[in-house]
Structure 1
Amino acid sequence: MVTALNGFPPATIKRLVVKIGSALLVDKAGAIRTEWLSGVVADLAARAKAGQQIIVVSSGAIALGARRLALPKGGRGSLDDAQAAAAVGQIALSGHWAQLLGEQGLTAAQMLLTLDDLENRRRYLNAAATLERLLSLNVIPVINENDSVATTEIRFGDNDRLAARIGQAARADAVVLLSDVDGLYTANPHTDPDARLVREVARIDADILAMADGGSGSGMGSGGMASKIAAAQIATGAGAHLAIISGLAERPLSAWENGANGTIFLGQTGKRARKNWLAGRLTVKGWITVDAGAERALGKGNSLLPAGVTAVSGSFARGDVVDIVNAEGRAIARGLAEYDAEDAARIAGKRSEEIAALLGDAVRPALIHRDHMVML
């Protein structure tokens, strides 16, 4: 029940990821809101001393660096400016975290990650191992996207989804996204007086997605409510709860613990670690469209056979991650391809005996095996 989870207490939630956006952490002049951040750190310290393991995902590097370098448009006028601002600002950001956590008797560690670090299976496992060791040493990792090298093609673009992926890699029990709104609303609460707060989401369905598309998000930073729902899909798919709460209070975690509003997306169960990684990926190499019969078979836990495939698109090799989409174009599953794109297109819609005639001895029974597939 939400009442038991409100505040994500240390007795229930042993490992917690807290994401802080730049709109909360940095003021309009590009300076750290030190007093507010001190309150957040005090909340984190109280939790750490109660036995909760904490991971912080912190934005703010570009805004800080842009101020120091006197760059126009907050450092976002060009990719070069953003990368330079991030390189300078990251030092200042990590310094603030190290100082404030140190004043509470806590040790901070810095990790800078790109999208590729969590999309590549080996590097994902390396990041997970580093997080595990830091937490075992009672260190608080402070993580940000490595904007000094990230480009449009290889970036998360917002730290909401980064926080969810970190929660997945660290096997966290829960993720908290501090926002400038106090949860998910049925409509934009700033413009619609009938908008209602959704306090608990057991399943992210079309109605929930429509609320995000309807503009109920904050519109601040690089995220917004749509990115927070995407983060919730990643986190809950990995079995972690995710909460959206207001970060506008002086002590936002304490305020939520004491009954302030928030939306909790309840974690799901059942996926193994490899399938969690698959479900949480943000990039795929191609798409395989299936008919209604194949969609039903996948829903029953079967592998994807070529006979049910109606179209293949993208450029992928054997072992690459692809999405399986239904006739309406909705992604229903994700998995590792057993064939490259060219051969997959050749055998689409074919029966086993036809495939053998086309490919000779290089025949595998499934286009995507159920052991390497996850339903979305």
Structure 2
Amino acid sequence: MATLSDARRIVIKIGSALLVDRRTGALKADWLRALAEDVAWLKTRAEVILVSSGSIALGRGALGLGLSELALEQSQAAAAVGQIRLARAYEEALAPHGLTTAQVLVTLEDSSDRRRYLNSRATLETLISLGAVPIVNENDTVATDEIRYGDNDRMAAQVAATVGADVLVLLSDVDGFYSANPAVDPRARRYDVIDQITPEIEAMAGDAGSGLSKGGMKTKLMAAKTATAAGCAMVITHGEALRPLKALEEGANATWFTAHIDPQAARKRWIAAMKPRGEVTLDAGAVRALRAGRSLLPAGVSGVSGTYGRGQPVAILDGAGHVLGQGLTRYTAAETRTIKGHRSDEIEALLGYPGRAVLIHRDDMAL
């Protein structure tokens, strides 16, 4: 079972109720400063991505909107005001530890549309490689019901799957998954580990969420399904105490959902199962490069067939027509035909606009 101590990449989900005082609408600055200590501590040995709610909760307080149900346009206005405050709060909390923060706003469309999914993945991977701490939130200023995740538990799971995280931590107002609601049933028992989400486990989940959050235990189980299917273990633990991540590593109550495959293998399996929309044929040098674990550059492509868009799967063939595998391409078929056989520094002149140096990244390839 994965733990914090051996995780290489960790996604941490933070709900509104942990960050924002429900009564006053003010930021819980002491809690955030303590969380920043945890993040700095984890960053010495792992990559960390934060998925944080709080923009609407902060904004509604600043705009004097109270605690009543908000209309869509009021929520979006509150998010526009609150997002600035939320980003600044994280920046001010992490900066004393020498950490650079980055704001990443997403919608459901960014994971359901393959091209946008690849763009999001590339941005997050680049930020992580440069040592930044991405702060991911739903783009509530533009998202409508049709393109919303609706809760940050599932969004955090999708982010974890997108970046190939080893562990997803849901900081919650409960200390794990229980057989019943512990607030009303004294016989409810907490599970330490759940290896499989069975119908019986699903039947135990309730709908109730805390005051400022929309998610209940059902959404957490949905998140666990997404995360574990992508090879990412997930843990639910109590987040209200100062330094909750340090407490988790030191044995605080929690429920772990185990993953039975590692993130990279899960991603490769997902790519391999797709139906290819076209083919690219490689020269001998590119075949050797791929077998050595490198990405595919346009210079190594000698032929292109089919009609496909960015982010769609294509079969990868050697010069004799043997299928080596397949991958998700960062260029359309027409663009690939234009740049095939050319160096990456020639792409902008050939296409008339800047492009990515890599045609198919090694992480988007199953050989």
Question: Is 1:68 equivalent to 2:82 in the alignment?
Answer: no
Q: Structure 2 stretches of 5 or more lacking a match?
A: 275-311, 313-367
Distance in 2 of aligned mates of 1:147 and 1:224: 20
Matches within 5 A, 1:171-320: 171-213=164-206, 221-269=213-261, 271-273=266-268, 275=270
One-letter amino acid of the structure 2 residue matched with residue 45 of structure 1: A
1:48 paired residue number: 43
Deviation at 1:220, TM superposition (A): 5.8
The 3-state SS of whatever aligns with 1:190 is coil
- CA pair 97-276 structure 1, distance change in 2 beyond 3 A: farther
The residue number in structure 2 matching 1:125 is 118
Shift of the 195–138 alpha-carbon distance from structure 1 to 2, 3 Å rule, reads same
Q: How many residues align?
A: 271
1:161 maps to what in 2? 154
Deviation by residue 1:172-228 (Cα, 9 ceiling, x = unmatched): 111000000000001111111111001101111101111114x58657611111111
Partner of 1:340: none
1:48–1:272 Cα change, 3 Å: closer
SS of aligned partner of 2:147: coil
Distance 1:185 1:237 in 2: 22
* Residues 220 and 244 of structure 1, relative CA distance in 2, 3 Å threshold: farther
Cα-to-partner distance string for 1:155-177 (whole Å, 9 max, x where unaligned)? 01110001000001101111000
Q: Report the CA distance between 1:248 and its aligned residue.
A: 1.5
Q: How does 1:7-22 map to 2 (within 5 A)?
A: 8-9=4-5, 12-22=6-16
What's the offset of the Cα at 1:278? 9.8
Cα distance in 2 between the residues matched to 1:192 and 1:220? 23
Distance in 1 (alpha carbons) for counterparts of 2:209 and 2:190: 12
Cα distance in 2, alignment partners of residues 157 and 208 from structure 1: 23
CA separation in 2, counterparts of 1:262 and 1:219?
21
2:84 to 71, 91, 98: 91
1:100 partnered with 2:93: yes
Which position in structure 1 is the counterpart of 2:136?
143
Deviation readout 1:275-299 (Å, 9 max, x if unpaired): 38999xxxxxxxxxxxxxxxxxxxx
- Give the whole-Å Cα distance in 2 for the aligned partners of 1:20 and 1:109: 16
CA distance in 2, matches of 1:146, 1:45: 26
Once the two structures are overlaid, the 10-residue window that deviates more, 269-278 or 200-209, is: 269-278
Gaps of 5+ in 1: 280-319, 321-376
Residue-by-residue CA offset, 1:222-267 (whole Å, 9 max, x unaligned) = 1111111000000000000000000021111111111110000001
Q: Work out whether 1:38 is the aligned partner of 2:30.
A: no
Query: For the Cα contact (< 8 Å) 1:218–1:225, is it kept in 2?
Result: no
- Secondary structure of the residue that 1:110 maps to in structure 2? strand
> In structure 1, what is the equivalent of residue 303 of structure 2?
none
Are 2:12 and 2:169, in contact at CA under 8 Å, matched by a contact in 1? yes
Deviation at 1:153, TM superposition (A): 1.5
1:237 maps to amino acid: A
What is the CA–CA distance in structure 2 between the aligned matches of 1:220 and 1:136, rounded to whole Å? 34
Contact kept in structure 2, 1:199 and 1:262, CA below 8 Å: yes
CA pair 229-104 structure 1, distance change in 2 beyond 3 A? same
Q: What RMSD, in angstroms, separates the aligned Cα atoms of the two structures?
A: 2.1
Counterpart of 2:184, as a letter, is: T
- Give the counterpart letter for 1:30 in structure 2: G
Q: What amino acid does structure 1 have at the position aligned with 2:21?
A: D
Following superposition, the deviation at residue 152 of structure 1 comes to 1.3
Contact 2:127 / 2:134 at 8 angstroms: preserved in 1? yes
**3-state SS of the aligned residue for 2:82?**
helix
- C-alpha distance 277-162 of structure 1, shift in aligned 2 (>3 A): farther
Mapped to 2, the partners of 1:244 and 1:47 lie a distance apart of 18
SS at structure 2 position matched to 1:73: coil
Cα offset, 1:40, TM superposition: 0.7
Retained in 1: the 8 A contact 2:57–2:212? no
Name the CA shift for 1:216/1:71 in 2 (closer, same or farther; >3 Å). Answer: closer
Distance 1:277 1:166, change over 3 A: farther
Counterpart of 1:35 in structure 2: which amino acid? D
